[in-house]
Amino acid sequence: MTSAASSEVLDPQQRRRRVRLMLYAVLLVIVLVVNIAVFIVGLFFDWWMPTAHSLQIIAAISQVNILFAVLPRQYWVVNLISAVATRAPVSWPLALRWRLAQYYHVGGLHVGGAIAGTLWYVLYVVILAPAWLDGMVRYDDLSVLLALLIVIGLLVVCILAAPGIRRDHHDLFEASHRFGIWTVFVLSWINALVLAGLQTDMRTFGHALLTSPIFWMLVASTLLAAWPWLLLRRVPIRVEHPSSHAAIVYLDHGSAPPVGTTRGISRHPLLGWHPFACVPAEPGQTGYRMVVSRAGTWTARFIDDTPAHVWVRGIPTVGVANAKKLFRRVLYVTTGSGIGPALGHLLTDTQGARLVWVTKDPRETYGDELVDEVERAQPDAVIWNTTERGKPDVVDVAYEAFVASGADAVICVANQGVTRRVVSAFERRGIPAFGPIWDS
């Protein structure tokens, strides 16, 4: 290992503290703690009385949290956070750059906002519940019904977003998130109108609506949720099949996405969205590429029954590998189709990147052209053919390459088990390591 790299490795005691404080969890807890503090403040200001003013406050707090849950899932917000976080120079302390490189953990804010928003709506229902028992049919009865439906919708979305369900039933998770949140927005809009109606004895309906913070937060949340769909496009594709396991997809529409970004594609505009890394086109060609490997029902159907067009929406979004900007030299550890998210960086950053690629029959699977391209850009790459050499201990192979390359950080793109094992092993050595966290 070079002195530049070894001198910046954190001591084990520092690293142990960092492992216990995964940024994703820290952000989630911060959101929940702030909401608990707001709840305690409400105890001293009698927010729990079933008055129009109190209901407006509680509904507004819930809507703030839901807006907070929407923002971190916006493509432009993710790109902005990444751009700001990765502007730090490599001369900054390693511990600080390490933390900044975890910008992609921003999903903790999304989860915290969703949980807190749901709990505030539960409180809203509890406060309004006596309205069902007063024997009078009024606006507050309709409001509690709407709030109850919103709570049910939010709870369904949260439950189906649990890691196990999300992993094993991805299509169900995706559909519940999309249609469930749209339903919540519709119900929230109706409830905002009802709450404005509750204040007509004090001011006009229009004045109550336009001065309500709920109204403006709903406007912002709705526009943010709708914006990616306004950029929905059906684009033609060209596909090469180097093997029955992989497909190279060529897209040429608009401007080519920046290196290090991903983009979701789908055969249907409303369902079945899957993100793939955007890889620059070969020299002399326009557009960009995606590497699709057989890794489930959707990808298997895509390879076996390739469409002539796909749908794209939103804008390309930066991925975890953009963390490389914060380090002098990065070792990419990939297995199988994990080469895709790293490929753009490997082809364009030949001085600051090194590669370990563990895969089965790379040339037979991904084609001679792609492998030759990788080898030209990365002549020192370790390409481990598991058919010829057997399955290695990826951590041992990666660490040996890390020492030899003089890298000061590791980015691993593999399956969930390998990624977590590699990242954890390097972190325990005090070496910055990053990988996907499968939070969406």
More reliable by pLDDT, 210 or 410? 410
Question: Residue 100 pLDDT > 90, yes or no?
Answer: yes
Domain covering 320-434, topology: Rossmann fold (3.40.50)
- Residue 80: closest CA among 290, 341, 322, 288: 322
Residues 86-96: tens digit of each pLDDT = 999 999 999 99
Q: Please report the sign of the dihedral spanned by the C-alpha atoms of residue 226, residue 230, residue 236, residue 239.
A: negative
What pTM did the predictor assign? 0.85
Taking alpha carbons only, the member of 109, 98, 102 closest to residue 74 is: 109
Q: What is the pLDDT of residue 371?
A: 94
Whether residue 131 has pLDDT greater than 70: no
Q: What per-residue confidence (pLDDT) applies to 284?
A: 83
Give the distance between the most distant pair of CA atoms in the chain. Answer: 80
The average confidence (pLDDT) of the chain is 87
Q: Which helix (H) or strand (E) holds 235?
A: strand 233-240
Tokens of 183: 């339903």
Q: What is the pLDDT of residue 4?
A: 40
As a whole number of Å, the end-to-end CA separation of the chain is: 36
Q: ∠142-184-208 over CA atoms, to 5°?
A: 55
**Cβ atoms of 49 and 126 closer than 8 Å:** no
- Name the helix (H) or strand (E) containing 293: strand 288-293
Query: In this structure, are residues 238 and 250 in contact, taking their beta carbons and an 8 Å threshold?
Result: yes
Radius of gyration of the chain (CA): 25
Helix (H, G, I), strand (E, B) or coil at 404: helix
Which pairs with CB-CB distance under 8 Å and at least 24 residues apart come from 172-180? 174/271, 174/272, 174/273, 175/271, 178/270, 178/271, 180/153, 180/154, 180/156
For the domain made up of 233-318, give the CATH fold: Elongation Factor Tu (Ef-tu); domain 3 (2.40.30)
**Long-range CB contacts (within 8 A, 24+) of 221-230:** 221/63, 221/66, 221/67, 221/70, 221/185, 222/185, 222/189, 224/67, 224/70, 224/71, 224/74, 225/70, 225/181, 225/182, 225/185, 227/74, 227/314, 228/74, 228/75, 228/313, 228/314, 228/315, 229/313
- The DSSP letter of residue 258 is P
- In this predicted model, what pLDDT tens digit does every residue of 346-383 receive, in sequence order? 988 866 889 999 999 999 999 999 999 999 999 999 99
One DSSP character per residue, 237-250 reads: EEEE-SSSSEEEEE
The domain locations on the chain are 3-230, 233-318, 320-434
pLDDT per residue as tens digits for the range 28-45: 999 999 999 999 998 888
Residue-wise pLDDT tens digits, 383-404? 999 999 999 999 999 999 999 9
